[in-house]
């Protein structure tokens, strides 16, 4: 770079560019360090000096950064593009990335509002439960609201036996059984029928898998059945499912000579 004893006409200092373009001096220094926007020359005293051409380039960088492009994208990808088709393709890719960010932010906004409501209902500060609620929201578990009713030993059992992946797989099976119960109820399939008892067996197997044979956990699950969602649509679905599950499972366990309530108390 050329060095000058005084600032020549047509050049601007880093401070002047910072003020003109509403960016910090540190940002301009960073762009220089990254080789994205180097000053046209340096004065005798070591001051960075910029021209109007540099201002145009800075404007381009800031505009592309506003669209979500990283500095690496701008430096190593965008600047080297030669045809409108190439630029349009990169812009399309970035648009898809922004759409994905919007989707994620929309979901985060929904989760924030849901968690706020749960916090107010809990009326206690419990960040472990908050974290459990957030994870279940991320999994799409529509029964996330039950978490506030679980005690700490039950939640510790869940945390110890399920990670996010296995928990999501378990909830997928559970929700399918819930939906099956609703369809069986609506279709009038008898709870004591072969089909009803096949369902009951699947449901009981899922419960025992969840509890690991711990009768205290089972007792807590039985308590959970008393709580209902505040959402009217979900509440109606839950009532339909529970009505069938109670009958089918009750008959199934009676045939096996199992009394979960009694065993949970022993």
Q: Degrees (nearest 5) of the Cα angle 36, 40, 41?
A: 125
Work out the average pLDDT over 30-44: 89
Distance CA 118, CA 113 (A): 9
Q: Is residue 94 predicted with pLDDT exceeding 50? A: yes
* Residue 230, CA distances (Å) to 9, 245, 251 in order: 71, 20, 29
* CA-wise closest residue to 245 among 221, 264, 262, 263: 221
**Which position has the token pair 């009713």?**
149
Q: Is residue 265 predicted with pLDDT exceeding 90? A: no
Work out the average pLDDT over 34-63: 89
For the chain, what percent of residues have pLDDT higher than 90? 47
pLDDT at 217: 78
Question: What confidence tier does 1 reach under pLDDT thresholds 50, 70, 90?
Answer: very low
Question: What confidence tier does 86 reach under pLDDT thresholds 50, 70, 90?
Answer: confident
Q: What is the pLDDT of residues 148-167, one digit of tens each?
A: 888 888 888 888 888 888 88
Class of domain 3-78: mainly alpha
Q: Is residue 260 predicted with pLDDT exceeding 90? A: no
Question: What confidence tier does 82 reach under pLDDT thresholds 50, 70, 90?
Answer: confident
- 0.85 cut: is pTM over it? no
pLDDT at 43: 80
Which position has the higher pLDDT, 230 or 37? 37
Q: Is residue 2 predicted with pLDDT exceeding 70? A: no
For the chain, what percent of residues have pLDDT higher than 70? 91
Residues in the chain: 266
Please give the helix or strand (H or E) that residue 255 lies within, else none: helix 232-256
Q: Is residue 174 predicted with pLDDT exceeding 70? A: yes
Q: Is residue 227 predicted with pLDDT exceeding 70? A: no
Work out the average pLDDT over 244-256: 91
Count CA atoms closer than 13 A to 237's CA, side-chain side. Answer: 15
Distance CA 95, CA 116 (A): 31
pLDDT at 81: 77
Distance CA 53, CA 87 (A): 22
Work out the average pLDDT over 245-249: 92
Radius of gyration in angstroms for the set of CA atoms belonging to the chain, rounded to a whole number: 31
* Residue 196, CA distances (Å) to 171, 173, 178, 182, 259 in order: 21, 17, 13, 12, 19
pLDDT at 44: 75
Question: What confidence tier does 184 reach under pLDDT thresholds 50, 70, 90?
Answer: very high
Question: What confidence tier does 13 reach under pLDDT thresholds 50, 70, 90?
Answer: very high
Work out the average pLDDT over 193-212: 92
Q: Is residue 255 predicted with pLDDT exceeding 50? A: yes
Q: Is residue 228 predicted with pLDDT exceeding 70? A: no
Contact call for residues 247 and 184 (beta carbons, < 8 A): no
Q: What is the pLDDT of residues 109-155, one digit of tens each?
A: 999 999 999 999 888 899 988 988 898 888 888 878 888 888 888 88
């Amino acid at each position: 770079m050329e060095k000058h004893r005084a600032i020549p006409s047509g050049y601007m200092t880093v401070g002047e560019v910072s003020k003109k373009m509403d960016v910090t001096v540190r940002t301009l220094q960073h762009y220089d360090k990254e080789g994205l926007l180097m000053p046209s020359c340096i004065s005798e005293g070591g001051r960075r000096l910029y021209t109007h051409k540099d201002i145009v380039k800075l404007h381009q960088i800031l505009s592309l950064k506003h669209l979500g492009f990283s500095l690496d994208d701008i430096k190593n990808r965008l600047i080297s593009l030669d045809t409108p088709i190439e630029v349009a393709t990169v812009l399309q890719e970035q648009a898809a990335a922004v759409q994905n960010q919007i989707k994620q932010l929309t979901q985060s906004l929904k989760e924030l509002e849901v968690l706020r409501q749960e916090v107010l209902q809990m009326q206690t500060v419990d960040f472990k439960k908050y974290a459990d609620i957030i994870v279940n929201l991320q999994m799409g578990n529509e029964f996330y609201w039950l978490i506030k009713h679980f005690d700490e030993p039950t939640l510790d059992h869940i945390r110890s036996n399920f990670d996010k992946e296995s928990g999501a797989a378990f909830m997928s099976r559970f929700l399918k059984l819930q939906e099956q119960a609703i369809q069986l109820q609506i279709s009038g399939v008898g709870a004591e029928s072969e089909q009803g008892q096949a369902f009951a067996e699947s449901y009981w197997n899922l419960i025992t898998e969840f509890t690991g044979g711990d009768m205290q956990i089972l007792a807590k699950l039985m308590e959970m059945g008393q709580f209902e969602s505040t959402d009217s649509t979900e509440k109606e679905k839950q009532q339909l499912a529970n009505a069938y599950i109670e009958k089918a499972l009750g008959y199934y366990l009676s045939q096996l000579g199992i009394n979960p309530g009694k065993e949970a108390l022993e």
